[in-house]
Amino acid sequence: MTTEFPAEFDERVYRSNYLDLQNMSSPELVSHFNDFGIPEGRRGHSIVDRVAFAQLLTGRRTLEIGPFTRPLLAGPTVAYADILSTEQLSELAPKLGLNAADIPKIDWVISPGDLSSIDEVFDAVISGHVIEHQPNLVGHLQQVADLLPEGGVYFVLIPDLRYSFDHFMPESTISEVLDAFARRVVRHDPRSLIASRLTRAHNDSIRHWSGDHGDPNVNPEFPDHDRKTRLEMALAQAIHTPETLSNEHAWFFTPHNFRTILEDLASLSLTRFRIERLYPTLANTLEFWAILRKV
């Protein structure tokens, strides 16, 4: 494990953050963090938020994938790739209540799930809430690795299904990941759309952390539509406009199953990435952060 990035657990930070831990020994702090700190969303490292996480890459030649109106990084060392051009994103943003002025210049317009048109090598790649959309997770990781030299890093910010609108979805498995890779999937399976219409939760992370996950039989996005209507809508969309499936979540992660899947893929030599850091989900937030190192 390198010391280039903050440790996943720093006992000095953990002790100073919480008054109830002041008198614990080092072994007791480690045990407390693993047994209670992680489930309670306590911060055991020095990274205070997602902005600070992204800024660990400051000064590196970095590609950001899918910035839309919320780029994680800015400056002369950062390039951007998205499935829509700057102009197309600028037209879309107001329709979603977003500020088009926040959209950066898109350097590469890519096809959904395909980075092969990008013809540069970077020190780092970063994406926020992108990896879970990729229909072929293995293919995505392999294409990102192609954009990096040996030792390059991929920073990923990933929604934790437990604290987001994915709450009622089952965790993704290595079997599903390998199935998508073996079938060379390039487009979302319709069941991703159908499942999201059927069992979508609210997206208020604070409510989820408090144990309030809402009604699994009510989709907050379509509160006035019953189960049958939502299924009809999803089926019609999957059959008649399958190109719109690219906006669905293909994978549902927690820090634990993400680590397990990445370790399995590495053991099979299906990815050149190893997890260098995995920072667990913090209380009242809905994402965790990982640093993948190309080896």
Would residue 75 count as lying in a domain?
Answer: yes
% pLDDT > 70, the chain: 98
Span 122-152, pLDDT tens digits: 999 999 999 999 999 999 999 999 999 999 9
User: Of 77, 43, 41, 45, nearest to 58 (Cα)?
Assistant: 77
Instruction: List residues bridging with 294 in a β-sheet.
Output: 273
Would residue 141 count as lying in a domain?
Answer: yes
Span 256-267, pLDDT tens digits: 999 999 999 999
Do 141 and 63 share a domain, yes or no? yes
Confidence of residue 243 (pLDDT cuts 50, 70, 90): confident
Instruction: List residues bridging with 128 in a β-sheet.
Output: 157
Q: Where does a domain end: 247, 270, 286?
A: 247
Domain range for 1: 1-46
User: Of 118, 157, 155, 112, nearest to 135 (Cα)?
Assistant: 112
Count: domains in the chain: 3
Do 74 and 120 share a domain, yes or no? yes
pLDDT for the residue numbered 187: 81
Residue 279 phi/psi, 5° resolution?
-95, 115
Span 157-197, pLDDT tens digits: 999 999 999 999 999 999 999 999 999 988 888 888 888 89
Contact indicator for 233, 240 with CB cutoff of 8 Å: no
91: domain CATH number is 3.40.50.150
**Per-residue pLDDT averaged across 96-123, rounded?**
94
pLDDT for the residue numbered 247: 76
CA atoms within 13 A on the CB side of 80: 22
Do 98 and 211 share a domain, yes or no? no
The dihedral sign for the CA sequence 143, 144, 145, 149 = positive
pLDDT for the residue numbered 190: 85
Amino acid letter, residue 55: Q
Confidence of residue 293 (pLDDT cuts 50, 70, 90): very high
Q: Where does a domain end: 232, 247, 262?
A: 247
Do 30 and 144 share a domain, yes or no? no
Give pTM, 2 decimals.
0.94
Would residue 167 count as lying in a domain?
Answer: no
Contact indicator for 29, 13 with CB cutoff of 8 Å: no
**Per-residue pLDDT averaged across 241-263, rounded?**
89
Do 178 and 88 share a domain, yes or no? no
For residues 246 and 102, the model is more confident at 102
Do 8 and 136 share a domain, yes or no? no
Encoding tokens for residue 225? 């539509």
Question: Can you tell me which residue has the tokens 């060379």?
Answer: 184
Secondary structure of the chain as H, E, C letters: CCCCCCCCCCHHHHHHHCHHHCCCCHHHHHHHHHHHHHHHCCCCCCCCCHHHHHHHHCCCCEEEECCCCCCCCCCCCEEEEECCCHHHHHHHHHHCCCCHHHCCCCCEECCCCCCCCCCCCCCEEEEECCHHHCCCHHHHHHHHHHCCCCCCEEEEEEEEHHHCCCCCCCCCCHHHHHHHHHCCCCCCCHHHHHHHHHCCCCCCHHHHHCCCCCCCCCCCCCCCCCHHHHHHHHHHHHHHCHHHHHHCCCCCECHHHHHHHHHHHHHCCCCCEEEEEEECCCCCCCEEEEEEEEC
Burial of 7: CB neighbours in 10 Å, binned 0-12, 13-18, 19+:
middle
N-to-C CA span, the chain:
13
